[in-house]
Structure 1
């Protein structure tokens, strides 16, 4: 099968630090290639994969609308001239990229990793279209856009071989929070849980740049970082994530929004580190209560769950997560969709 993967510019594929969706696109490109498929990646500057890579646009998340319109024009031109070379176009970028080939016979999967614009789905499915399938990274995420068209949940993934199981940690092992230090991610709650349970806490992630979240960081998070009980280690690359997560007794995930997936949860599980999370968004789909962590609804429940963390078998935690979320398994799910679904039939 000849596969075209598309990702928005802004962050290279794969990303150096932050960029969950970009990391996914790279993983799938590599898995497809290893399975013997011919992969072409269309993504921002400095992107690469084992197949063919074509770059466009600029790596700037704050780029102008004019720049984004030029990106659309580039993808439209490329697809207009080259769509017939592919059996599958798998788009992780903007839905509008697919407009020139919406009614072409090539198989098309549009994948979402965030809440979906229902208006966009209604518009696109009202146009003549064929061999078009929508996927999202959780049942919750599917529910935000499933107003028309064909939909299926295909979970996010990581490469479990890049993470090391640590089957045992000491009683004084730290708790960990890993994610953007935006208010909705709940770092302030993680700090409160650490203090209430007399545990050390490692904070890792990007310091926000938006005015409201930067103010939150400066006023609610930074003053509590003492380098002793509460430490901040910055944004982490994949190797550093593995290093810190495997040494933690648990990952705290006290989100204040409906998270579409939360890849950090399975990164922790891959190290055997259980997740203690609030029951929002996709959390009930990702965390198996009592096996890969604990699902909680209140601060007090999260505090109590920290005291129960040694009920979790860390090897069993990793084993179940790997069965559910390894990149090889999820890549196969996408290919099965392309091969077997009645809507998506291979043309080559």
Structure 2
């Protein structure tokens, strides 16, 4: 198939540091290319890909100090997609909702994966106004706040199987927290759980400007108070394998409707179990008693840490291999692309007009 992947411009694909959406776009794009599809990636110019890259900006917007408003650049992105839309059998958007009024001419070949939370008060009115767009959720739980829309499917995220090596026999005896310092991620819970468990806690996290006050008022004093806690800061992909792989467990003590939680499957790929609070997608990702423990309180989390020795880390990695590889994710999306209403009608006509074989290759 000829497939367009349309990425946000805030980060490169893949991102240099934090950027879950752009990371998934990269994993999906590279796996689709590996499987033999003709893929074009619309992204920032500092992106790295085996696909054809359409560089909409010179660099990721977050890294460009001259950028004040991202909207003009995303309008440029949409215009670049519009100009080439007839080249593709499927156009896959990862930019939330900004494109929806502009893709009516090829809506039958377009699909949008919603990567963020959907329980925000302004979203229902928007999605009621655009009920015909094919949407993909990244967990079933993510869908719950939405009005009736055209769900094309739920497709869980996946990672390249060789990205993070499993460490089934090794552990340095510490607990890990990886992500952002923010109230909904509850690093305060992680600190208290580690303190009560008597284990060191290592926090690898970024602090956004919007969360700076929370960091200074709530989290930095807690870290100062407990000598078992070390703050490492933001880490890159290469550092992640050691950070997660050497941990006894990842703590995922969230307090919000997490749409997916990429860090959970990153830990599982490293054969590291996850102790996660029952919120959002957690019950869809973690198999209680196999890939980790699902808890509902700090008391239960402390007890789960005590039970970590009963888990077989090889089974944690096996749970990842069975459900969360990029190969499985890409296969799910290809099946979905073939099912789009324009994939065999509109796309076939466009191929004939281009003098190409009209029939799409068989799924699989």
Q: Deviations over 1:64-111 (max 9, x none)?
A: 998444234323322332111000100001323243332426511100
Q: Deviations over 1:6-54 (max 9, x none)?
A: 0121111110110010001011110111111111111124123111111
Range that drifts further, 318-327 or 94-103: 94-103
Equivalents in 2 of 1:65, 1:166: separation in Å? 42
Equivalents in 2 of 1:77, 1:216: separation in Å? 39
Corresponding residue for residue 221 of structure 1: 219
5+ long unaligned stretches in structure 2: 352-364
Root-mean-square deviation (CA, aligned residues, Å) is 2.3
TM-score, reference length from structure 1: 0.91
Quote the offset at 1:343 in angstroms.
6.9
Is residue 188 of structure 1 aligned with residue 188 of structure 2?
yes
Corresponding residue for residue 306 of structure 1: 305
Equivalents in 1 of 2:43, 2:158: separation in Å? 19
Corresponding residue for residue 238 of structure 2: 239
Question: Relative to 1, partners in 2 of residues 1:88 and 1:208: Cα closer, same or farther, differing over 3 Å?
Answer: same
**Among residues 101, 109, 114, which one is paired with 1:107 in the alignment?**
109
Is residue 121 of structure 1 aligned with residue 127 of structure 2?
yes
What SS does structure 1 have at the residue aligned with 2:290? coil
Q: Is the 8 A contact 2:6 2:42 kept in 1?
A: yes
Is residue 40 of structure 1 aligned with residue 53 of structure 2?
no
Corresponding residue for residue 156 of structure 2: 155
Aligned residue pairs: how many? 340
Range that drifts further, 191-200 or 332-341: 332-341
What SS does structure 2 have at the residue aligned with 1:144? coil
Equivalents in 1 of 2:130, 2:167: separation in Å? 47
Question: Relative to 1, partners in 2 of residues 1:7 and 1:221: Cα closer, same or farther, differing over 3 Å?
Answer: same
Is residue 204 of structure 1 aligned with residue 204 of structure 2?
yes
Equivalents in 2 of 1:332, 1:105: separation in Å? 22
Q: Is the 8 A contact 1:84 1:106 kept in 2?
A: no
Equivalents in 1 of 2:98, 2:208: separation in Å? 29
Q: Is the 8 A contact 2:275 2:304 kept in 1?
A: yes
Corresponding residue for residue 89 of structure 1: 91
TM-score, reference length from structure 2: 0.87
Equivalents in 2 of 1:36, 1:106: separation in Å? 23
Equivalents in 1 of 2:321, 2:34: separation in Å? 19
Equivalents in 2 of 1:11, 1:164: separation in Å? 25
Quote the offset at 1:219 in angstroms.
2.8
Question: Relative to 1, partners in 2 of residues 1:228 and 1:51: Cα closer, same or farther, differing over 3 Å?
Answer: same
Equivalents in 1 of 2:332, 2:147: separation in Å? 19
Equivalents in 1 of 2:262, 2:14: separation in Å? 15
Q: Deviations over 1:222-273 (max 9, x none)?
A: 2343695111111111111101111100100111111111100010011111
Equivalents in 2 of 1:3, 1:115: separation in Å? 26
Q: Is the 8 A contact 1:17 1:237 kept in 2?
A: yes
Equivalents in 1 of 2:65, 2:142: separation in Å? 26
Corresponding residue for residue 81 of structure 2: 79
Q: Is the 8 A contact 1:246 1:271 kept in 2?
A: yes
What SS does structure 2 have at the residue aligned with 1:266? helix
Quote the offset at 1:157 in angstroms.
1.6
Q: Deviations over 1:148-200 (max 9, x none)?
A: 22331111122231111111245x61011111011211111111011101001
